[in-house]
Structure 1
């Protein structure tokens, strides 16, 4: 009896610890990672099939199966090495972006998701790509790597390189596994588009910010403290620009 009570108490403590840790994950990373895991679990349990999830422009346009615009980003294949590898990279780099350069800017992070998803879907109209989740992960990795160019990376203890080479190393790894690199190239291309429009072009002579987060997203996702944090960042950036001009 005492053993059963102790086991129950230990299980309850573990559940509480897991729940606490889970809700400490930033909201966007938590939502996307959870959706990917639940989608894969539903396929494994045969609640749904991959044929109901894959990107099919004809079914989206003619049969109004709009959900495919989302589900094609949520499925990474059946449980196995590929799924675990993708989930780890998704969680790691999505969280580092959300807690790093997008800290206090949840609406901007959601807007990056929308930008990447829309552009990839448009490319998907012309390319024979059924699932876009891996390309989306590569986009996140690309943006993170370009914003941290001095970080040294190690890939499975075999290669040492600086962060901006990481997307290309992943593409090479896909090639070694016999996979198509079209998905990786799509993720790199869209990631570079976002990075150029958000980080490079506005700082060029005559350049300006083209990617503007809609106010609706700010109202939905930015808490008052996040809005204040963003304003403080803008003020700091403005002061730095004034100092440089002087």
Structure 2
């Protein structure tokens, strides 16, 4: 019964999020068990293009480090924010609901853009930057939500990427990966949400017909959730809409 319940919960996760999260967990376990070495999967554009080790273009997004605080920290952030863009919640209603192909295209754009930045910044693993990209887009699309971070700080959603960057700095990590994620997220947000609404603007990031054909008729079980239900995951604390105050 418990296994069936766990399986049902797992299947409630939207298909793209489910696939990516599974790939991250499997890759981390393989590295943790010494089946695969981090040196075999890190991002190196010279090895990718000169020696055709094309798998590095994908595996570099799947590894967040050995199982520990950093890995759990990134997985905790990845899960709720990607779900927030899939679920029909109060503020972000309908952004990707029923648009699996559009979300897949966002994943592809984010991944390719992050990889291009990785060629110039010597980043070894790109998953954290991709996570920050999603966080940035979500935060800009929810400007009136208040977040409580670790019970210490209360701030509006658009400040969240910068709070995470500061937190990475306090932990002694490099902020380059955070800055790459924020930059990629900002470009995507501008091209998708800002520029089309400007005089003479147009939507440049149109989802290819191939992706629409692949995902046509795809309905994730997560979309069956009631509109008032919020996705599970990390408890951020109080989230308030300023318009209701």
> Per the shorter chain, which TM-score range?
0.7 to 0.9
Tell me which structure has the larger Cα radius of gyration.
Answer: 1
> Which of residues 61, 80, 84 in structure 1 aligns to 2:49?
61
Q: How does 1:1-246 map to 2 (within 5 A)?
A: 13-100=1-88, 101-223=95-217
Give the secondary structure class of the aligned counterpart of 1:167.
helix
The 4+ residue runs of structure 1 with deviation greater than 3 A are none
Q: 1:224 deviation in Å?
A: 6.8
Cα distance in 2 for partners of 1:162, 1:91 equals 20
Q: Which residue of 2 aligns with 1:8?
A: none
What does the per-residue CA deviation read over 1:29-75, in whole Å, with 9 as the maximum and x for residues that have no partner?
A: 11111110111011111111111110001110111010111111000
Secondary structure of the equivalent of 1:178?
Answer: coil
TM-score w.r.t. the length of structure 2 is: 0.85
SS of the aligned residue for 2:122 comes to coil
Give the Cα separation in 1 of the matches to 2:138 and 2:78: 12
Task: Write out per-residue CA displacement over residues 207-235 of structure 1, whole angstroms, 9 at most, x where no aligned residue.
Answer: 11100100000010131779xx9xxxxxx
1:102-121 CA-partner distances (Å, limit 9, x unpaired): 11000000000110111111
Structure 2 unmatched ranges of 5 or more: 89-94, 224-245
Structure 1: any 5+ residue segments left out of the alignment?
1-12, 230-246
CA distance in 1, matches of 2:187, 2:87: 22
Q: Distance in 2 between matches of 1:38 and 1:102?
A: 27
Normalised by the size of structure 1, how large is the TM-score?
0.85
Q: 1:26 to 1:168 in 2, by over 3 A?
A: same
Aligned residues: 215
Where relative contact order (Cα < 8 A, 6+ residues apart) is larger, the structure is 2
Answer 1 or 2: which has greater helix percent.
1
